[in-house]
Amino acid sequence: MGLQIIKPDTNIDFVGIRKIAFIISAILILCGLGSLLIKGGPKYGIDFAGGMIVQVRIDKATDAAAVKDAVNEVNLPGLVVQSIGLEGDHEYLIRTSSSDITSEEVRAKINNALTDNLGASFEIQRLEMVGPKVGADLRSQALEALFYAVLLIAVYISGRFEQRWTAAAVMAAALGGCVYGLGLLDLDMGWLILAALFITVGLCWYLKLNYALGAVAALIHDVLITVGLFSIMGKEFDLTIIAALLTLVGYSLNDTIIVFDRIRENTIAKQGKMPFGQIINLSVNQTLSRTIMTSGTTLLVVFCLYVMGGSVIHDFALALLIGITVGTYSSIFVASPILYGFGPSELPKTEED
Amino acid sequence: MQSLRLRAVIALAVVLLGLAFMLPSLPGVKDSSLGKILPGKGVSLGLDLKGGIHLTLGVDMKTAMDNSLARLGDDLKASAREQEVYILRPNVLDENQIEVTLIKAEQKDTFESVIKDSTPFAIEESTPLEGDKVKYVLSVSPKYRSEIEKLTMEQAIKTIRNRIDQFGVAEPDIRKQQDNRIQVQLPGLQDPERAIKIIGQTAHLEFKMVDDSADLKKAQQGILAPGRELSSLLHRQANGSYAESPIVLKKDAVLTGEYVSDAQVRLDQWNTPYVSLTFNARGGKIFTDLTGENVNKRMAIVLDGKVYSAPVIRERISGGSASITGNFTREEARDLAVVLRAGSLPAPVTILEQRSVGPSLGQESIDNGVMSAMVGMALVLAFMVIYYGFSGMVADIVLILNIMLIMGGLAAFGATLTLPGIAGIILTIGMAVDANVIIYERIREELRRGLSASQSVSEGYGRATLTILDANVTTVIAAIILYQFGTGPVRGFAVTLTLGIITSMFTAIFVSRILFDLYLKNRSDKAKLSI
């Protein structure tokens, strides 16, 4: 047998330390939410807010402030200059919020300003312009995507894990109805989704779909922490970050489900012989080695992406790094203890499959 | 349990198929003799990797509808006239309605039957006015409106495609999106601003007579005779910019761009470029008659509401051609000729979204992406062998197969590889070992329980398969939703992720099992398994 990170007889009392885990999670979530409140919501990139960005690379060492000074004189509204990529790339994003000047004008203005003031050669590598209408559309689409992902996954877990497709269907129908009803109220998409998520959790709880409840709660936990950390770090939200968030949703669930699968298997095998808390502990310990291995290798490659992937993909990789770490943590310390808190749901009479 | 040989043949067939589709993606293979026999052309690269322009255009449907209603109104006026019913010039109202005024109330019945017979209008209301007039408000059916919208979109896309074809871009991608939007992708194009100008110009060409008797001062205060409009005449300055001066035109266009069959750039005797227009047969006849009737008057050539020139007609011009002069640069003249040849857009378009990536950034993105994938993969491969020994090598083999199949799959489905797509593949590398790890950890457990190597392998695979399926279905759900809601690059990511999950399940569950079975086949039950 090869190497082993986790000894086979490891028995950590995960259920016993759940309070500490909940406190850590609560602190992380509250810090993130606090940051979002203070900053007035997430900082949207041009994909969602509209505006224009121009990415330039400059052939000598300089800093964002110098680039900003160079561009400042041409009077671009809402001008922001930031350094992107790793140090030594000398790549900068010049962002302006205006919608009434054309991209042609912006390109020309920046070209002139940099030629006149910088004394180094440079290249405009990328220019993106998103109108306010498209930005708003993209934003609501992205939120909708996040929401439907959570919804479908909740339905799948309820059906698959507890053989309760009827309850899952009831939940899907109820949620569909609620979302339709809320849609009529013409609320902001963000609130709509928040409301829908609360309804999902409420329905899972009411219908005693405990596996789905644990998984969805862990998922919301992961997304909240990642979004919060992004807000604290002052990173912008754009389409690639949403892609990263959805990937993390998939990944985190993947992790959670593998643990839940074991819990289900052990519950059936050891029914009546062991309290539920111990079954959960046993299952988490049994899968611990796999959890660490997989997260480890995934983090390894994502880290390579973060370091070497280039400026455009940098933030995407960062979101994945945070997300995978949080997702791994939540499947061990959050999802299973929640399942414990609500007790085992009614089990199917026979083990199918 | 199917026979080992059958499974091996299936696996080999899939791998070879994947390889056949994947190989043309490698530099050098596509154009070699091998590349010619292989199917497909390899993976096509997205704009973010190749450089190029992505545009989202919004078609101004209101203007299209108003134009269409105005035309219908004119038709109605003409049909009424045939029945000797006279109405005032129809007015286009908001809400897709037009307002017409019948001059003689006693013709009400005839007029209403004209409306019924010849146009898609329905009468919303009619109000008697003082004197003998009756005011009608007419509306068109929603079905007719959607018909107009459909036609407008089709025509807009056709026109844009024509223009791009003349502009010469390889593999342009133009498609309709929801909400009256058009997405245009031009890979490899270097000059985004010029492309935008050509695509975005409405190029609505009209010939209108100039009303030289009108009082310009009064016109500027808004006092105009009926059927007249104030426009501006462009004068090109020495520095290349345009100055404008007011000019009063008769509202009705005597001739429009629809009659133009060709437009070419020519040079006059001072080597200044101008655009020469050739009319089709009908247009040529109208133009000949028109110039014959209006000798010594001025005719304005109006493009998108601006008057480019307003020459005096010296004589009747036959031969069916006219010219637009305007002190253009050669490039401007050429671009103008392109848009006129391709026809005008049925409605103005606005650029809602524009993304242009320089080719150097694209190349750099590929290099970085491939580099980080290689390094990440090497680390994972090494780690698996260190951790699982022989079984780690099996995992490595299927991991490499997996990447190959993803590339082959992308090529086979004609999907586009984008930067987030590369990220998807890199993420798959990390996650692909997951299935192996789940299986191996199970096998280890079974071994610890004292089962023999082959029993453990069999049990391990059996128990792990469902877990892997469960776990992956959720990721596929996320990916499908990403695809459904996402645009462009996000979709690319979703496609590679889905493909990666499918291929990783195939390789980790099916192919690696074959390798284990082959390894254990000729060994005794007590054989040791390096895992």
pLDDT greater than 70 at residue A345: no
Q: Are A256 and A324 in contact (CB under 8 A)?
A: no
Report the alpha-carbon distance of residue B384 to residue B394 in Å, rounded.
9
- Check CB contact under 8 Å for B474 and A153: yes
- Pairing between β-strand B242-250 and β-strand B228-236 as defined by DSSP bridges: antiparallel
Q: What is the 3-state secondary structure (H, E, C) of A170-200?
A: HHHHHHHHHHHHHHHCCCCHHHHHHHHHHHH
* B375: nearest CB among A145, A156, A304: A304
- Check CB contact under 8 Å for A2 and B386: yes
Q: Which residue did the predictor score with more confidence, B362 or B513?
A: B513
Mean pLDDT of chain B: 85
Q: Is B396 on the interface with A (CB under 8 A)?
A: no
Report the alpha-carbon distance of residue A262 to residue A273 in Å, rounded.
16
Q: Is A123 on the interface with B (CB under 8 A)?
A: yes
What's the token pair of residue B151?
Answer: 């036609």
Q: State the pLDDT confidence band at A351, using cuts at 50, 70 and 90.
A: very low
Q: B369 to chain A: which residues are within 8 Å by CB?
A: 309-310, 313
What is the pLDDT averaged over residues B482-495?
75
How many interface pairs between A and B have CB atoms less than 8 angstroms apart?
242
pLDDT greater than 50 at residue B375: yes
Q: State the pLDDT confidence band at B364, using cuts at 50, 70 and 90.
A: confident
- Of A287-291, B202-206, B245-249, B509-513, least confident by mean pLDDT is B202-206
Give residue A153's pLDDT.
Answer: 78
- Check CB contact under 8 Å for B474 and A250: yes
Q: Which of residues 344-363 of B touch A (CB under 8 A)?
A: 350-358, 360-361
Give residue B2's pLDDT.
Answer: 59
Q: Which of residues 215-234 of A touch B (CB under 8 A)?
A: none
**pLDDT by residue (tens digit) across B280-304?**
888 889 899 989 998 899 999 898 8
Report the alpha-carbon distance of residue B352 to residue B254 in Å, rounded.
34
* A247: nearest CB among B353, B387, B497: B497
Give residue B324's pLDDT.
Answer: 83
Q: Which residue did the predictor score with more confidence, A303 or B485?
A: A303
A222: three-class secondary structure by DSSP: helix
Give residue B72's pLDDT.
Answer: 86
Nearest-CA distance B241 → chain A (Å): 14
* Percent of chain B residues past pLDDT 90, beyond the cut: 16
Q: Which of residues 111-170 of B touch A (CB under 8 A)?
A: none
pLDDT greater than 80 at residue B271: yes
- Check CB contact under 8 Å for B372 and A304: yes
Q: Is A127 on the interface with B (CB under 8 A)?
A: yes
What is the pLDDT averaged over residues A113-128?
84
Q: Are A209 and A345 in contact (CB under 8 A)?
A: yes
Report the alpha-carbon distance of residue A55 to residue A135 in Å, rounded.
19
Nearest-CA distance B163 → chain A (Å): 20
For tokens 């992961």, what's the residue? A222
Q: Which residue did the predictor score with more confidence, B428 or B9?
A: B9
Smallest Cα–Cα separation from A25: which of A226, A274, A262, A278? A226
Who's near B485: CB < 8 A, 6+ residues apart?
A: A141, A142, A144, A145, A148
* A141: nearest CB among B448, B485, B530: B485
What's the token pair of residue A298?
Answer: 């995934």
Give residue B209's pLDDT.
Answer: 92
Give residue A72's pLDDT.
Answer: 84
Give residue B342's pLDDT.
Answer: 83
Report the alpha-carbon distance of residue A215 to residue A335 in Å, rounded.
6
pLDDT greater than 70 at residue A187: no
* A156: nearest CB among B352, B445, B473: B473
**pLDDT by residue (tens digit) across B498-513?**
898 889 889 988 999 9
How long is chain B?
A: 531
Backbone φ and ψ of B2, nearest 5°? -70, 165
Q: Is B382 on the interface with A (CB under 8 A)?
A: no
Who's near A344: CB < 8 A, 6+ residues apart?
A: A210, A267, A276
Closest-CA residue of chain A to B364? A310
Give residue A2's pLDDT.
Answer: 62
**pLDDT by residue (tens digit) across B314-333?**
888 887 888 888 778 888 88
pLDDT greater than 90 at residue B260: no
Mean pLDDT of chain A: 83
**pLDDT by residue (tens digit) across B117-175?**
877 888 888 888 877 888 888 888 888 888 889 999 999 999 999 888 887 777 888 98
For tokens 């939120």, what's the residue? A143
Q: A138 to chain B: which residues are within 8 Å by CB?
A: 487
Q: Is B427 on the interface with A (CB under 8 A)?
A: yes
Distances (CA, A) of B225 to A123, B118, B219, B251: 55, 31, 9, 10
Give residue A353's pLDDT.
Answer: 38
Who's near A5: CB < 8 A, 6+ residues apart?
A: A289, A292, A293
pLDDT greater than 90 at residue B469: no
Q: Is A320 on the interface with B (CB under 8 A)?
A: yes
- Check CB contact under 8 Å for A301 and B473: no
Q: State the pLDDT confidence band at B471, using cuts at 50, 70 and 90.
A: confident
Give residue B431's pLDDT.
Answer: 76
- Of A213-217, B296-300, B375-379, least confident by mean pLDDT is A213-217
Q: Is B489 on the interface with A (CB under 8 A)?
A: yes
Give residue A352's pLDDT.
Answer: 39
Smallest Cα–Cα separation from B471: which of A162, A262, A142, A301? A262
* Percent of chain B residues past pLDDT 70, beyond the cut: 97
Q: State the pLDDT confidence band at B525, using cuts at 50, 70 and 90.
A: low
Give residue B478's pLDDT.
Answer: 78
B contact test, residue of A98, A140, A247, A282 with most B CBs within 10 A: A247
Q: State the pLDDT confidence band at B334, using cuts at 50, 70 and 90.
A: confident
- Check CB contact under 8 Å for B357 and A309: no
pLDDT greater than 90 at residue B195: no
B contact test, residue of A305, A318, A352 with most B CBs within 10 A: A305
Give residue B86's pLDDT.
Answer: 86
Closest-CA residue of chain B to A144? B485
Nearest-CA distance A132 → chain B (Å): 8
Give residue B487's pLDDT.
Answer: 67
Give residue A232's pLDDT.
Answer: 92
Q: Name the pTM for this structure.
A: 0.78
Smallest Cα–Cα separation from A226: which of A138, A84, A329, A87? A329
Who's near A188: CB < 8 A, 6+ residues apart?
A: none
Asked if the ipTM is above 0.85, the reply is no
Give residue B378's pLDDT.
Answer: 93
Q: B48 to chain A: which residues are within 8 Å by CB?
A: 312
Report the alpha-carbon distance of residue A89 to residue B452 in Å, rounded.
56
Return the bridge partners of B72, or none. none
Amino acid identity for residue B485 in this structure: F
Give residue B524's pLDDT.
Answer: 65
pLDDT greater than 70 at residue B205: yes
